[in-house]
Amino acid sequence: MTPFLRIAFPALLLCLLSATNTRAQRQSPPPGTVAVSNFFIDRQEISNIDYREYLFWLQLVFGKDSDVYRQALPDTTVWRVNISYNEPLVEHYFQHPAYDQYPVVGVSFEQATQYCSWRTDRVYEKRLMEAGAIPINKQPNASNFFTAERYLAGQYMGLAPNKTVEVPRYRLPSKDEWELAASASLDATLFPYGYNLNDKRVAKELNKGHALFNTRRVVVRQNQQAGLYTSPASSGLPNGYDLHHMIGNVAEMIDQKGQCKGGSYIHQLEDSKITQSIPYEQAASWLGFRCVCVPELP
């Protein structure tokens, strides 16, 4: 299977999310997503392989020398800031298959927002193809590729928009959405990291000495130090909503530029509380993101 087919088919469908209307709420959560209130949220942070699939599509449509492609590239030099022995990560973290499932870092707020918009287009395009509303575009290029806005304006292939297929609007989560997902229905004042340490499932992991999440001071049996950099996005004990690394690993951008949530491998526990926000100025080796999406009828 080609990377383009992989991108449009399983990776992007990890976050095809429900709408607030009744019909959408009856839909089953797409693979890889979790339903929280009236939206779905990614079960884990966006990974390197997810983002590389995005870049492959941009290269396919616009070319590797295009400004569109170059402006989407993550900044791999962010690893030189916090880690002393850093060149292997600068060279290999984003590209090497060993790090495929690790969270993408070095991405700015603007780049993350563009990724969300692109994901909306690709998932909406596939849903319309499945509904028979549009044909497969076997050779997308810079002048004829599908976007939701172009299609809804009647400017894609001269087709009249289908009004019954929902538009999956991907975006960064709001502060309230992120906190709701991270709390996993617990009181964030009493359980500031989204875990009840008296829960049998959590206690079992602690008794094994396993980390709940990757922060500078992780919650483990011996309260030992965390790793020197990120962990795989699907690692760690998921919270009560089955979400991985809402706390720790990488801090996660929200829709308020310059603010992120959840702390990271460089942050102390106090910084990583659900209700705490962390400021940032630019892309960093400790900063990533995950998407939410609320589909809407055209």
- pTM exceeding 0.85: yes
pLDDT along the chain (298 residues), means of 10: 41 37 44 83 97 98 98 96 78 97 98 96 93 95 96 96 92 97 96 93 84 84 65 93 96 98 94 97 97 89
**Domain-located, residue 66:** yes
Check: CB of residue 176 under 8 Å from CB of residue 292. Answer: no
Give CA–CA dist 247/60, Å, rounded: 35
**Domain-located, residue 104:** yes
**Domain-located, residue 27:** yes
**Domain-located, residue 111:** yes
Give the total number of structural domains in the chain. 1
**Domain-located, residue 231:** no
What pLDDT was estimated at residue 192? 96
**Domain-located, residue 56:** yes
What pLDDT was estimated at residue 197? 86
**Domain-located, residue 244:** no
What pLDDT was estimated at residue 220? 72
Domain assignment of residue 125, given as a range: 3-171
**Domain-located, residue 122:** yes
